[in-house]
């Protein structure tokens, strides 16, 4: 029984993020809970950003993966406590970096206008970087440029 739950958990958490397919949703920390009764699995999932179009895609992918493994999944969307980038695991952070996305730096988003945070270049690790835009190709990313190796890169915004 316990092994079945572990199996269901590992099946659900190894689903890849549809927009950043280098990390699993387990590594992003969005699976909050899994309850198993016989083959019926109830999975609690935290959405990342309010308007993230990937939320539904992720839920469908979890359902599909669990069905394939012989479970009967039900997805429960959990809003509280809200997902934070602090829940991204160490291995998730490493993979983001290797993929060319700088992982989130620190917990609280700073309120100060024109405030600066030190974002390292994922390629050459230089701290000499500049923000091009707080917004990027997906809801979770900002655009930066490295002033050392001159490569533009994505930064996973901290929330």
Partner 1 sequence: MSPDLGKALLELADDNLILGHRLSEWCGHAPMLEEDLALPNMGLDLIGTARTLYTYACEIENSNKTEDDLAFLRNEREFLNCLLVERPNTNFAHTILKQLYFSIFMESYWAAALNSKDETIVGIAGKAKKEMAYHIRHSGEWVIRLGDGTAESHKKIVEAVDALHLYTNEIFINTQNTEFFIENNILPDRISLKSNWEKAIKSIFKQACIPYPKNDAELLGGRLGLHGEELGHLLASMQSVHRAHPGAKW
Give the footprint of partner 1 on this chain (CB under 8 A). Answer: 47, 49-53, 78-84, 109-111, 113-115, 132-137, 139, 143, 157, 159
Spatial CB neighbours of 30, under 8 Å, sequence gap ≥ 6: 45, 46, 47, 48, 58, 83, 87
Q: Which is nearer to partner 1, 98 or 134 (CB)?
A: 134
Q: Which is nearer to partner 1, 114 or 150 (CB)?
A: 114
Helix (H, G, I), strand (E, B), or coil: what is residue 34? strand
CB of 43 to partner 1, least distance (A): 17
Main-chain phi, psi angles of 58, to 5 degrees: -65, -45
Q: Which is nearer to partner 1, 18 or 72 (CB)?
A: 18
Given strand 141-146, what is the order of strands in its sheet? 101-102, 152-156, 141-146, 129-133
CB of 51 to partner 1, least distance (A): 3
CB of 135 to partner 1, least distance (A): 4
């Amino acid at each position: 029984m316990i092994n079945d739950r572990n199996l269901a958990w590992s099946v659900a958490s190894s689903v890849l993020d549809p927009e950043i397919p280098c990390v699993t949703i387990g590594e992003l920390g969005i699976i909050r809970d899994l309850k198993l009764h016989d083959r019926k699995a109830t999975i609690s999932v935290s959405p990342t950003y309010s308007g993230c179009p990937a939320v539904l895609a992720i839920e469908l992918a979890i359902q599909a993966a669990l069905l394939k493994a012989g479970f009967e999944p039900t997805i429960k969307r959990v809003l509280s406590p809200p997902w934070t980038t602090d829940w991204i695991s160490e291995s998730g952070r490493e993979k983001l970096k290797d993929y060319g996305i700088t992982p989130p730096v620190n917990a609280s988003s700073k309120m100060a206008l024109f405030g600066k945070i030190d974002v390292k270049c994922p390629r050459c690790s230089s701290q000499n970087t500049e923000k091009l835009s707080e917004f990027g190709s997906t809801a979770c990313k900002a655009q930066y440029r490295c002033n050392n190796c001159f490569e533009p890169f994505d930064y996973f915004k901290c929330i």
